[in-house]
Amino acid sequence: MQCSVVTDEDAVAVVWTGLIPLEEIPALMRAVGFYPSEEEVMHMINEIRYKSFMVTGETQDYIGLDEFIRLYINHRPVIPLERKAIRDAVQTIAE
């Protein structure tokens, strides 16, 4: 989450903006158990960055939590991979 520090002579306050930099999307996806490929990460970041470009002419560098949840739900695998499926795939490649 993005934050900014506001300082006064006697006090320091941290203000949370609630925004996530797009560069943090891969780490957050992995933190919730989804391990996208670099290509998938690039597609997710570009989806958010250029979402409103045709309307506003500006790119987006941050994402809100609600948008992150939508992005996760739309891009995660529907059925999680099982250990046996991964093992079988590795054996197939090794042959």
Residue position matching structure tokens 């500006």? 58
Whole-prediction pTM = 0.65
Model confidence at 52, pLDDT cuts 50, 70, 90, reads very high
- What digits encode the pLDDT tens for the residues 4-34? 544 555 555 556 677 889 999 999 999 888 8
For the record, the structure tokens of 26 come out as 């891969």
Model confidence at 37, pLDDT cuts 50, 70, 90, reads very high
Please state which of the four CATH numbers 2.40.50, 3.40.5, 1.10.10, 1.10.238 is assigned to the domain occupying 3-94: 1.10.238
**Domain regions of the chain by residue span:** 3-94
The angle formed by the CA atoms of residues 19, 16 and 44, to the nearest 5 degrees, is 15
- What digits encode the pLDDT tens for the residues 69-92? 999 989 988 877 778 887 888 888
Q: What is the pLDDT of residue 5?
A: 44
